[in-house]
Structure 1
């Protein structure tokens, strides 16, 4: 018997979905390029398009060219690196814990990296990015493992998303308290870490980025290695194992990726919150629960949100600046409340 006229062909539906996702991804790329260019134009001193264009392709010693070359290009490029890292880390944690409201901040990963950096600066007098990067990575890894173990991950039954979230919030709060105590007891460390602790893209150089970039790239690659298998894990460990997924290996790869992404990004820009929560969750509304596509979209959408937040921070109290971590908090807190009050959050 032939198909009824109103029946949909599954192949056509799949093709239409893939086409819609590709078009959406292209639109995001265009928005990212536009946002990055606006970041070079907008600040305490707005610059015309012509001045930015000349600063990019024919720079001179003019003052406006120096602003673009020495300040706005580095912070924009750094946002293009740490934004995807925070977004992907959030997407990984949400997929791994099957909790659509999880992110590196809520699960204590950022707090672990921040505490390790405070320890490096306040106790060991470490001052260079290349040195305290490794402290941040170790801190992020220890925090991730501690959350998983304390929530019951070492037992026979995997921990529930609620258990993991509660453990993460508790560990994050404790580590944040220790970080504050360290910086208060050491005035030099307090001064050096004041802006960093709030999350900032200012006063960072491209040399700082180069020391972190290899770690972030490894984290991105590990994320996409784990992404297809995380689709199966979303149905539960037993179902994933029956589909041929080595759950233990995928969890290990995911934890390493989260450590590299959140730890490296936090070392460079500070513990910027809510990016890893908002972006994967919003992306999932538009493209559904397919993890590789969620990761791909988060890779582009996260820096858009971070750069827009940084632009707002530059102009809202100009000529003074508000650190981007505070702006993302102002944006993210109301969104988090809306997500919590929804009867049905977007599924994993």
Structure 2
């Protein structure tokens, strides 16, 4: 855990120092503590990179913890938050905002994306629990995959019908931290913090649930309550992350895998370590996105896909996927 803290501090420093205008670390510290530094450096660090770094931390923690919750909830090591329809619901709602209201700015996408993620997850849970007292992992997975397919198809049809209008969505759909400021962070921050709190509260119950529903019930755990709280936490975390930065792939799938091999099967340790490792991954991916095509910039979602896929394949080849 100390290693992850050290990596997070290093990633934070890189995120604030590296960019089209490199700034040395003493100047970064001076800008953050309101000391006398060149105005251009202060603008680069405080005006541009600080909010971007905060978003990267929130997005990384949100997606990684949501992924860990999803894998524990479904007892499926290949699950990620997208299974609940969070990503497709957010994309559909943003597409509706573009079509109906002409929304074109990231700050305008936030509420559409978050509302879409919430409604999609609610629909998945209602469909998955139809005719049952609560939604099981298989029912949630099937309902989520079905809804995601429908919403993705609708968004694709809308994009083909009006390609010029939907061109503004390309960067958001690739997962980008560019041109994001406090107007994007502040509306979503409370939801992400509540999601992290719920994840911490439900972690111990997920350990019991991993033993099986019957044994968990015999040990006094409320299976239905645990699932509902976990689904709410996943929705708040993944929905908030998607609202801020758009869909960023593989973070919610890869990070819980890595930390599970480092800290063992205890969900309390997995979720805690994921909250540190997720920001490290997104911060480093964002730094790479700034320099790989300098003076241009890649969407951070493209970097996580290119880096995450081979890393995950290599890890799976070295060890079998951990059981939950």
Match for residue 45 of structure 2 among 45, 64, 68: 68
CA distance in 2, matches of 1:183, 1:235: 45
For residues 248-292 of structure 1, what are the alpha-carbon distances to aligned partners after superposition, in whole Å with 9 as ceiling and x for unaligned?
111111111111111111111101111111111110101111111
Match for residue 105 of structure 1 among 82, 100, 118: 82
* Mean CA deviation greater in 217-226 or 108-117: 108-117
Matches within 5 A, 1:292-303: 292-303=268-279
- Identify the residue that residue 208 of structure 1 maps to in structure 2: 184
- CA change 1:166–1:248 in 2 (3 A) is closer
Matches within 5 A, 1:218-233: 218-233=194-209
| Contact 2:134 2:224 (C-alpha < 8 Å) held by counterparts | no
For residues 160-181 of structure 1, what are the alpha-carbon distances to aligned partners after superposition, in whole Å with 9 as ceiling and x for unaligned?
55x6545544433432232233
In the alignment, structure 1 residue 96 sits paired with structure 2 residue 55: no
Unpaired segments ≥5 residues, structure 2: none
RMSD: 2.6
- Identify the residue that residue 322 of structure 1 maps to in structure 2: 298
How many residues of Structure 1 are paired with residues of Structure 2 in the alignment? 323
Structure 2 length as normaliser, TM-score? 0.89
Structure 1 length as normaliser, TM-score? 0.84
- Identify the residue that residue 210 of structure 2 maps to in structure 1: 234
Match for residue 178 of structure 1 among 149, 154, 158: 154
Matches within 5 A, 1:238-253: 238-253=214-229
- CA change 1:34–1:341 in 2 (3 A) is closer
Residue 80 of structure 1, CA deviation: 1.3
CA distance in 1, matches of 2:243, 2:144: 19
- CA change 1:47–1:308 in 2 (3 A) is same
For residues 189-215 of structure 1, what are the alpha-carbon distances to aligned partners after superposition, in whole Å with 9 as ceiling and x for unaligned?
524322111101110002320111011
- CA change 1:157–1:216 in 2 (3 A) is closer
Q: Secondary structure at the match of 2:306?
A: helix
- Identify the residue that residue 22 of structure 1 maps to in structure 2: none
Match for residue 290 of structure 1 among 263, 266, 285: 266
- CA change 1:65–1:134 in 2 (3 A) is closer
* Mean CA deviation greater in 99-108 or 225-234: 99-108
Matches within 5 A, 1:131-150: 132-148=109-125
In the alignment, structure 1 residue 265 sits paired with structure 2 residue 261: no
Larger Rg: 1
| Contact 2:17 2:23 (C-alpha < 8 Å) held by counterparts | yes
